[in-house]
Structure 1
């Protein structure tokens, strides 16, 4: 019997496991969660009811009726929901208003995610989500929201085992222990979080949400929207107060961003288990994501400008048919580059070749795009300043010249980030500056090549070469390669495809 992870509270016995083929229901404890989750949608109508009807017995009665209705609705929904494993498929049935049966063939299951939001964790429950590789949204997935931890682990084991059994010829289970830890991110490395920039806008998001609530609920709370507009006009008339408020938000960015990053990536652990790569993370909502190893085609290493200065990167898996790959496919949060290269090499496979530089004209193109537009803006602003004698135009011209100067190192960095290579097993392409990305893809994943040339590229004599891949983003590009590289690289990676065209048979 599979035990719940040590970071979760022990699950209460839920009786004997439901045999395969028999219908099962969610845990009755979910009835304590569903009404609470419905309260936000009822909060605004209830507040409006109390303000319109006053704090009278009739208002209280209607409010109690609304809350009671949510409880009854939750009970009916729980009683009309069931799931069962029938042979080679999983069936999820709903019959609240109209009968609905969702059938998921076990052979299509590509991963099973188990998460424990705060209220679920308190009650020993979990959310089990089945990834079928569909890209049409959650309607194409299966979700069991409110099973016990014991049942979630049992179902996860059964579904993944049967999914592997559906393709025995493609699965090779390595000898040794069924679960092997690959890497656990030290907690001290959570301090790298603010460098990623993904969570830095948290203070502004919170401030924007508060302003939105003020305008939306202003009338219901009694101070009206006019009061909110008055506060906004007062702040506009007192720019120093507004500037101080913005400065507070900016100073709070690294702190709030670091806290949010730590909450989502707490105790990030990557392990190999029974032919799957399993990533576990999270402090409040603990999440476990399983990626079928035989569907992994490579990985992508990403770093931003600040991350590059600190020498840290993030990593994602490139997986066939994976929905929401930016969340489910994450292999590592911010870690030192050497660690990321070692871990991805151990988990998926190493890349053992240097990247080839692109022609010097690619550098000229990046410098032109990073510098010349700002020089044009500076020239226009300078002419306007001479004609109008307005100091604002001089300030704009100076700012544009400053940005043009900053564009020089940015353009050079963008050029130095370009590269592509092949080590005989995997190919790699890299590009970007503010967000630099290097994709490493197995040669067997390449399904085609695309050669593209814009009007400006034609004048410069360079191309964009895209390797079509049936995984991840669907294609990864080597930007601004020379004509020789554009023809030699595909011939090197997939010689069997191009040899008949390069050396046509003689009649």
Structure 2
């Protein structure tokens, strides 16, 4: 708990002017935190009783939380810097409960105890499923260890590119918050703002430096979080381990994995790299806990997902040409209208400011053509007899591969514009992941035929024709 007190203690010292009284308050804060932490540690116990885990806390009021072992979806073990220094770990139990109200966390157990508890809590070996590759094999096998040179792909994901601006914003916020203690009053802030206004090139240079720092700082942050990424199969579980400062290990029960999602952006697509997440039933926080792969070459991602979960062996079927027209219209028409309005206003008024609206809108309209074509090329759906796949998006293209047994329902959605165009959106309801995955702008024939192909037994009673009685 002490590292979390660093900023408040510095604030107390600044507010108190580093006087004897401020040091006294800081010392009292540290002592009170230590005492409180010791009391919490002494009044917290955990125990595995039969088929359930019980945690008890009796600091002020006594509380007992019981978690059936059969509801445990995963066990995460992480080692933040202070814990690693002391040989400790944080063990978090995921039950897939909404909002995480029924999750338990054991903060401060030894590494040996964390590994022992992980083995005990996950002792139920996953049952092998049809078409699932070697899910319940004993022992541990490394599926892939991501080479460190592939961490150079990190800036392409864009996940941490805004880190320099966040750091700069935080520094400015702290300066204003502690401005009086640092000798910077409101008049000084206004003077600094006026000086920057009189020297706009310096502000422009600062922004350019932050922009140039984006890929470097973003790449460093990406490497810190995904350092030494390993995906393993251990006793019926998929285990993903990663992290440089905070080493984290996430376990996903293979029997509950229903598919995977492969994602790439424009920059990643040009470089031929993708990311992958697992689609798991009852998994909270799937964006982080379900990660199977960071940025890796596309061929490697398909090999790993096929080995860990199962391959998809059918081409994606294209969507009708009207879907392309809809994407071109939405990508070009708004900017074309804005360009026309700007051009008319420029001719009518002669105001130079209209150029600042006309030129960007023309550029965006021109960029909309390849963007619309790429969005159409990204559309697709397919079925190989075991798994179905749907794909869409351009700036963030996502292909979801789902096992047929995971589909629990179908939903057809058609807006007014889609009805006019003769297309629709088909949503495959899945009791895992996002809950539903969409095939956008299919033809009406495809929307009727695809569910009948994937789940024919559902539709057969409604498609049986009757022979009319002879008169």
TM-score, length of structure 1 as denominator length? 0.88
Matching residue of 1:94: 57
| Residues 1:181 and 2:142 are matched in the alignment | yes
Matches of 2:250 and 2:70, distance apart in 1: 18
Superposition deviation, residue 76 in structure 1: 1.2
Q: What is the aligned counterpart of 1:266 among 221, 227, 236?
A: 227
Matches of 2:221 and 2:102, distance apart in 1: 30
Superposition deviation, residue 274 in structure 1: 0.2
Maintained 8 Å contact 2:69/2:121:
yes
Maintained 8 Å contact 1:107/1:164:
no
Maintained 8 Å contact 1:93/1:100:
yes
Maintained 8 Å contact 2:136/2:236:
no
Matching residue of 2:392: 431
Matches within 5 A, 1:412-491: 412-491=373-452
TM-score, length of structure 2 as denominator length? 0.95
Matches of 1:434 and 1:361, distance apart in 2: 21
The RMSD of aligned alpha carbons is 2.0
Superposition deviation, residue 394 in structure 1: 2.0
Deviations 1:177-234 (A, max 9, x none): 5111101111111111110111111111111111111122223433234433432332
Q: What is the aligned counterpart of 1:160 among 122, 127, 142?
A: 122
SS at match of 1:221: coil
Q: What is the aligned counterpart of 1:142 among 104, 112, 115?
A: 104
Superposition deviation, residue 169 in structure 1: 10
Structure 1 unaligned spans of 5+: 1-33
Matches of 1:470 and 1:196, distance apart in 2: 28
Matches within 5 A, 1:68-79: 68-79=31-42
Matches of 2:275 and 2:41, distance apart in 1: 40
| Residues 1:281 and 2:242 are matched in the alignment | yes
Q: Would the alpha carbon gap of residues 175 and 242 (structure 1) be closer, same or farther in structure 2, given more than 3 Å must change?
A: closer
| Residues 1:498 and 2:459 are matched in the alignment | yes
Superposition deviation, residue 68 in structure 1: 1.3
Maintained 8 Å contact 2:129/2:255:
no
Q: Would the alpha carbon gap of residues 229 and 152 (structure 1) be closer, same or farther in structure 2, given more than 3 Å must change?
A: farther
SS at match of 2:429: strand
Maintained 8 Å contact 2:75/2:91:
yes
Matching residue of 1:389: 350
Matching residue of 2:19: 55
Superposition deviation, residue 386 in structure 1: 2.0
Q: What is the aligned counterpart of 2:158 among 182, 197, 214?
A: 197
Deviations 1:297-345 (A, max 9, x none): 0000000000000000000000001111000100000011000001000
Maintained 8 Å contact 2:261/2:401:
yes
Q: Would the alpha carbon gap of residues 463 and 172 (structure 1) be closer, same or farther in structure 2, given more than 3 Å must change?
A: closer
Matching residue of 1:120: 83
How many pairs were matched up?
467
| Worse-matched range after superposition: 72-81 or 440-449 | 72-81
Maintained 8 Å contact 1:362/1:480:
yes
| Residues 1:316 and 2:280 are matched in the alignment | no
Q: Would the alpha carbon gap of residues 174 and 290 (structure 1) be closer, same or farther in structure 2, given more than 3 Å must change?
A: closer
Superposition deviation, residue 353 in structure 1: 0.1
Matches of 1:82 and 1:38, distance apart in 2: 25
Deviations 1:144-175 (A, max 9, x none): 111100100010011000x448x899999867
Q: Would the alpha carbon gap of residues 380 and 168 (structure 1) be closer, same or farther in structure 2, given more than 3 Å must change?
A: closer
Q: What is the aligned counterpart of 2:317 among 356, 363, 368?
A: 356
Matching residue of 1:223: 184
| Residues 1:44 and 2:11 are matched in the alignment | yes
Structure 2 unaligned spans of 5+: none
SS at match of 1:233: helix
Matching residue of 1:304: 265
SS at match of 1:351: coil
Matching residue of 1:103: 66
Maintained 8 Å contact 2:128/2:135:
no
Matches of 1:174 and 1:371, distance apart in 2: 48
